Amino acid sequence: MTGFGLQQRQRASQIQRICQKQIQALKFLAMDSKNLTEEIYKAAEENPALVITKNRSSWDRTKTAVPTASGMAASENFQAALESKADERESLQDHLLGQLNSMRLSETEKSLCEKLIFNLDSKGFHILAPISLLDKKDKLQTPGLLEKCIETVRQLEPSGICVVNTEESLLVQARQRENAPPLALFILNGRFNFLDPPYPEKILQKIKAFIAKQKKLFADSNAEEYSTLNPTLRSVEEALGFIRTLDPLPARNFSSGEIHFIAPDVYIEKISGMAQQNQLEENTVSGSGGLWKIRLAQENIPQISLNPEFMQLAENKNQNSMEEELRKAKEFIGMLEFRQGTLLRACIEIAKIQTDFLLRGPGNLVPLRQKDIADKLSVHETTISRIANSKFIQCEWGLFDLKFFFTNAASSKNKNISKDKAMSELKKLLNSSSGKKMSDQKLSEELEKSGIKIARRTVAKYRNKLCIESSYNR
């Protein structure tokens, strides 16, 4: 009975893990590139088994994914509604100015502090070099006063703003803490690379090697300071634990007030006539009069991979905790691969069906349901619904919401004519009527002559959507 109970607990644990993976995979499917990027950075920050391989900023690197089958079963029976909500949080600038106004400062100091505050980006970092903010015509605005004003702004909440980058932010936060370990201050003061990788044993080795090198430098005035550190594995672990309590993005809880531009998630590019003579490449679609290449916009999402140093250390140490981090990292990469792969495959199938649009542009969509693409990919319809959420396709006709390519038939009598096609033909008919005020019934009859059979009331509905008034008011 004891063994049976253990098996039940293990099975329950496995089921719970699978459910969590499914939920997370489905969330990835629905995320736009901005939210997915934030999720990747968060995972890389929390899990040492993950590494970002291409630098985009001090905390922004990119990784290549290891394909797995994780998340393939995650497309079934989980409906999620994502709601957009305006960012009503207080801006960082308003928050800082409110504190600044309560301080007793000279007009020159206040002016410089305000310039510094409005020079901060959404992370709380300088946009322009602070020295460029000085008014050369004002003799009171000196570099010394600027440094004083920078320190004044740094004393405001949140701690760690008005700095150059993340490293300086962490150092400022640490210096403002009363319990900062000396070794933590030593590392953060220009030796942030000691934390890569963030393993105490390796950090200790780097610190000892650095101190030994400094002792050999006869003219080094700080040699005594280094010799008093006496780093141990315990003190390194204490310093590392303290650094982890600091916030690398102290301004994250404030509204950025930024304008977010839409970026494509997928590109559909027409291939030249010379290239069409070659054999079809991977992820290409052919249609009457055209050949197109479909590719993901990889530049908008960081690539991620397993940390080779962590893998080597895990193999040597053989610790359960490290194996757990490695398992989570593999699952995370697998879910990303599932998301990207499903998005690409869905867009390839869409392109195969909507070749008339790709060739001739708007007004040439054919009827297409999300269920049709789901059947071709052998996934649930809700998976395609999530994939279509907040994703954009760039083609030669412009940037389009992925949902744009899904359109119903114009009517039950015209299953091969899409609503998009019918509305396009209706607009052409109204524009070419040469001043004739055709009624909805007459428009219905004219459309039928071109093979589009829709009722008068459907014509009226489409006309209203085109913002065109009735013949009586035209």
Same domain, 401 and 414: no
Residues 136, 175: one domain? yes
Total domains in the chain come to 3
Decide if 252 is inside a domain.
Answer: no
pLDDT score recorded for residue 409: 81
Q: How far apart are CA 113 and CA 148, in angstroms?
A: 9
Residues 53 and 191 in one domain: no
Say if 340 falls within a structural domain. yes
Does residue 249 lie within any of the structural domains?
Answer: no
383 with 425, same domain: the answer is no
Same domain, residue pair 98 and 182: yes
* Under 8 Å between Cβ of 290 and 359: yes
363 in a structural domain: yes
| Other CB atoms within 10 Å distance of the CB of residue 458 | 19
Does residue 147 sit in the same domain as residue 71? no
Query: Residue 393 has what pLDDT?
Result: 92
Rounded Cα distance between 175 and 186, Å, is: 11
Is residue 283 located within the same domain as residue 231? Answer: no
Same domain, 99 and 239: yes
Q: What pLDDT score does 257 carry?
A: 55
Domain boundary among 174, 209, 243: 243
- Phi, psi angle pair for 20, to nearest 5°: -65, -40
Quick one: pLDDT at residue 266?
94
| Residue 371: Cβ within 10 Å count | 13
User: Which of residues 357, 385, 407 is at a domain's end?
Assistant: 407
Statement to judge: residues 72 and 96 lie in one domain: no
253 within some domain? no
In a domain, 251, yes or no: no
Within-domain flag for 473: no
Q: Is the pTM of this model over 0.75?
A: no
Q: Looking at the structure, do residues 418 and 292 belong to the same domain, yes or no?
A: no
Same domain membership, residue 367 and residue 456:
no
Range of the domain at 233: 92-243
State whether 385 and 414 are in the same domain. no
pLDDT of residue 313: 82
Last residue of a domain, one of 374, 390, 407: 407
pLDDT at residue 471 in the model: 59
Quick: pLDDT tens for 253-300.
776 555 455 788 999 999 875 454 444 567 898 877 789 999 999 877
Residues of the chain with pLDDT under 50: 1, 12-18, 55-87, 259, 274, 276-279, 435
- C-alpha pair distances (Å), 199 with each of 47, 359, 447: 12, 56, 72
